[in-house]
Amino acid sequence: MAGERREKPSAMCFFPLAYAGNRLPSMFDSCSFTHQFKLNYEETKKVAIGHVVSSGEISAGEHLWKIMCNPRGDREENKGEYLSIYRYHASKSKNAKAIFEVFVMDRDSAPSSSHRKRFVQFYTPKDNWGWPKFVERSVLKSLYLTDGSFIVMCGVKVIPDNPLDDAPPSDIGSHLGVLLDSEDGSDVSFVVDGEEFPAHRAVLAARSPVFKAQLLGSMADAKMASITLHDIAPATFKAMLRFIYTDAFPVEGGFEA
């Protein structure tokens, strides 16, 4: 996978954080974090090559990190035609090994498969690494704009010195359960006997080939924001939905006949 070490960041002028996008809650544990940059395409046309959008310092795995994005790249020879993105190890005294993953969100709010990169790198203090040509701006404009803006998602996971000893148990099920309960980002709902259940197409499609065909295929339901189901009790559907997200059924009262 192509990537280049960046010796020094260019002109360190920063957009306000509200413009850069907010840090999202960690999807893993104290050794990881995610951050999104939501940028208006027309506004980024006005900035100079080397202009930086920064996450600010974020603590993960007992290290400090920054994610830095150059909406028009950081090198004059690329003529402002690329978006650059780098991860900066801000700690002063400790080395770290970490995974850096970046992808663009497509217009369906799903991670792009064609503009997604991942790399494992050993970092010394004050070291940084990334991609000076992460994605062409012309591609952002043609494929990824929603209401004039595009979103770049970044994830960092620090690898412990003894990963087999320190690795926490998987808690992805609990995180997806929280997502289901909060209804954040839901993009489809099911109506069962008058009761509404908000859900997420991507999660359902990933977990069930039936839902994948129904929600992402050529069926009429793929274009519907609300789908009415018959011949199933609300409590039964609620328990089924919980199992799809978490791999666990409710302890009590999961189903109704």
Structure tokens given for 87: 């991860």
Q: For residue 36, give the amino acid letter.
A: Q
pTM of the shown model = 0.56
pLDDT of residue 196: 95
Residue 249's pLDDT is 66
Tell me which residue of 109, 66, 70 sits closest to 89, measured CA to CA: 66
Which single residue is written with the structure tokens 């970046």? Answer: 102
Q: Which phi and psi (to 5°) does residue 137 adopt? A: -65, -35
pLDDT at 188: 93
What's the CA gap between 62 and 167, in Å, rounded?
A: 15
* pLDDT, position 207: 87
User: DSSP readout, 222-239?
Assistant: GG-SEEEE-SS-HHHHHH
Rounded Cα gap, residues 152 and 134, in angstroms: 10
The per-residue pLDDT for range 228-252, each reduced to its tens digit, is 998 888 888 898 898 899 888 665 4
State both tokens at 163: 């990963």
Q: Is the dihedral of CA 72, 75, 76, 82 positive or negative?
A: negative
Q: DSSP readout, 75-115?
A: -GGGTT-EEEEEEEE--SS--EEEEEEEEEE-TTSSEEEEE
Averaged pLDDT in 10-residue chunks for the chain of 257 residues: 37 29 42 90 96 92 93 96 95 86 89 90 86 97 95 90 61 88 91 94 89 85 87 87 83 45
Three-state secondary-structure class, residue 8: coil
What pLDDT is stored for residue 194 in this prediction? 93
Q: So what's the pLDDT on residue 22? A: 36
Position 112 scores a pLDDT of 87
User: Is 106 buried (19+), middle (13-18) or exposed (0-12) by CB count in 10 A?
Assistant: middle
Closest CA to 156 of 177, 115, 128: 128
